[in-house]
Structure 1
Amino acid sequence: MKSILIVEDEAAIARVLGAYLKKAGFQVTHAADGIAALEVFEASPPSLILLDIMLPNMDGFELLGQIRKISSCPVIMLTARDGIKDRLAGLDGGADDYMSKPFIPEEVVARVNAVLRRPSQWSDGSGKRHFGSLFVDFSARSVFLNNAEVSLSPRDMSVLLFLAERPNQICTRDQLIEQVWEMDYEGSDRAVDLSIKRLRQALSHWPAEEGEIRTLRGTGYQLWTV
């Protein structure tokens, strides 16, 4: 049976969510603050976490960061803070989905099922990751598509590795410039666009149903994968 950890300080909300999730066949655990949630998670990792942002002791963003250091467990943020900055912060921090309060419990259950149906990317624990037919070896700085090595410039490789380390997260141009170009960068952000264009060409045979590099207009880029 798949298990859900509800991290929510409002007991009434946690109770309603728990009832609907149990009815849908899930095992449910509840934690009312961030520190308790981290202890529960470390003791018995769940299949998915429903995470509020405004929590006592450790807020949802900080808890998400702690979890992402040790696990790729799916996380759906469920919060009254529905501003675009909060949404981007959650998704950029590694959340798999983001829902605003007030919510319809049936929709929460549907979102949970949708996230759990996604085939997850997997790592063999040695700095290597598979995204369907795309294979990324971070330590060797090499990429293979359909078992054939993909030839990339050092800079384009760095961009791809940066995105691949954060699948389905939004990476802004500023982040890419800061982390990839560093102090060597003296031009406009057009350089980032051109690098992304070259990567798309190099990965043109990567099946669309497995993933793609997406442009989020006015926000940045993400390596999207199922």
Structure 2
Amino acid sequence: MKQILIVEDELAISRVLKAYLERAQYRVEQAFSGEEAIAKFTASPPALVLLDVMLPGRDGWSILRYIRERSSCPVVMLTAIGQIEQKLAGLNQGADDYITKPFIAEEVVARVNAVLRRSASSTGGERFTSFGSLQVDFKAHSVKLHGVELAFPPRDLSLFLFLARHPNQTFTREQLIEHVWGLDYEGSDRAVDLAIKRIRRRLENWPASEGEIRTLRGLGYQLYVCEK
């Protein structure tokens, strides 16, 4: 039975969503603040998070960034804000779907089902992928080379996992910042170059015959993997 984490500070809404999701055969955990959400997400990683934007303490955007730095867990945003700019901001920061209040509970369940189907399809139902001697475990957020786990700082790991999900695709610095750092990042795009440099250092023993992180001048970066 898949577990859903509802992060919603309005008790009545949370109760209704819990009842409908349990009726749909999901196991449900509830959190009513940002801090509680992080604690429950860390203690028992769910299959999907329903995440309200307006929360006491840490808001939904902060929680979304926290999740994306550590996990590919699907996230559906819940908010009373209807502006298209807010919707695009959430999707660009890594949200998988966006539902505006007021909503019908049955619609939320249908969206949850659809997002979980897409998530399983996008990875072929697999948690692992291998590029020769390099093995990536998306669920455990680990990377092994020749059977030995590589140690990455959290942000570098998020960047590498993103590239590994899209092998042989090229991304500009701006696109990588949007997907990994988030739209509210105010630092230099040099952070991408430095992270790539650190990642390459950790992959220095990965045979070039299997793959490498390439720089395409004027275009961006890609995780190039050799065709089998």
Say what the alpha-carbon RMSD is for the aligned residues. 3.4
The verdict on how the C-alpha distance between 1:61 and 1:165 changes in structure 2, with shifts beyond 3 A counting, is closer
C-alpha separation between the residues in 2 aligned to 1:63 and 1:39? 11
**How many corresponding residue pairs?**
159
- 3-state SS, counterpart of residue 4 of structure 1: strand
The verdict on how the C-alpha distance between 1:110 and 1:195 changes in structure 2, with shifts beyond 3 A counting, is same
Asked if residue 71 in structure 1 is aligned to residue 84 in structure 2, the reply is no
Once the 2 structures are TM-superposed, how far is the Cα of residue 159 of structure 1 from its aligned partner? 2.5
User: Which residue of 2 is the match for residue 53 of structure 1?
Assistant: 53
Q: Amino acid of the residue matched to residue 120 of structure 1?
A: S
User: Which residue of 2 is the match for residue 85 of structure 1?
Assistant: 85
Once the 2 structures are TM-superposed, how far is the Cα of residue 120 of structure 1 from its aligned partner? 3.5
User: Which residue of 1 is the match for residue 19 of structure 2?
Assistant: 19
Q: Could you give the per-residue CA deviations for residues 133-174 of structure 1, whole angstroms, max 9, x where no partner exists?
A: xx62xxxxxx3xxxxxxxxxxxx945299459939xx99xxx
Alignment equivalent of 1:120, drawn from 119, 122, 144 = 122
Once the 2 structures are TM-superposed, how far is the Cα of residue 30 of structure 1 from its aligned partner? 0.3
Is the Cα contact below 8 Å between 2:177 and 2:192 reproduced in 1? no
C-alpha separation between the residues in 2 aligned to 1:4 and 1:181? 33
C-alpha separation between the residues in 1 aligned to 2:87 and 2:30? 23
User: Which residue of 2 is the match for residue 217 of structure 1?
Assistant: none
User: Which residue of 2 is the match for residue 10 of structure 1?
Assistant: 10
The verdict on how the C-alpha distance between 1:79 and 1:69 changes in structure 2, with shifts beyond 3 A counting, is same
Q: Could you give the per-residue CA deviations for residues 64-95 of structure 1, whole angstroms, max 9, x where no partner exists?
A: 11111111100000110121221122111110
Asked if residue 39 in structure 1 is aligned to residue 52 in structure 2, the reply is no
Is the Cα contact below 8 Å between 2:50 and 2:76 reproduced in 1? yes
- 3-state SS, counterpart of residue 172 of structure 2: helix
Q: Could you give the per-residue CA deviations for residues 51-72 of structure 1, whole angstroms, max 9, x where no partner exists?
A: 0000001000001111111111
The verdict on how the C-alpha distance between 1:130 and 1:13 changes in structure 2, with shifts beyond 3 A counting, is same
Is the Cα contact below 8 Å between 1:5 and 1:28 reproduced in 2? yes
Q: TM-score, normalised by structure 2?
A: 0.60
- 3-state SS, counterpart of residue 58 of structure 2: coil
Is the Cα contact below 8 Å between 1:158 and 1:180 reproduced in 2? no
Q: Amino acid of the residue matched to residue 78 of structure 1?
A: L
Q: Post-superposition, which runs of at least 4 consecutive aligned residues in structure 1 deviate over 4 A?
A: 128-131, 160-165, 177-182
C-alpha separation between the residues in 2 aligned to 1:158 and 1:14? 38
C-alpha separation between the residues in 1 aligned to 2:110 and 2:101? 15
Asked if residue 166 in structure 1 is aligned to residue 197 in structure 2, the reply is no
Q: Could you give the per-residue CA deviations for residues 91-128 of structure 1, whole angstroms, max 9, x where no partner exists?
A: 11110000100001111000000000012346614346
The verdict on how the C-alpha distance between 1:107 and 1:67 changes in structure 2, with shifts beyond 3 A counting, is same
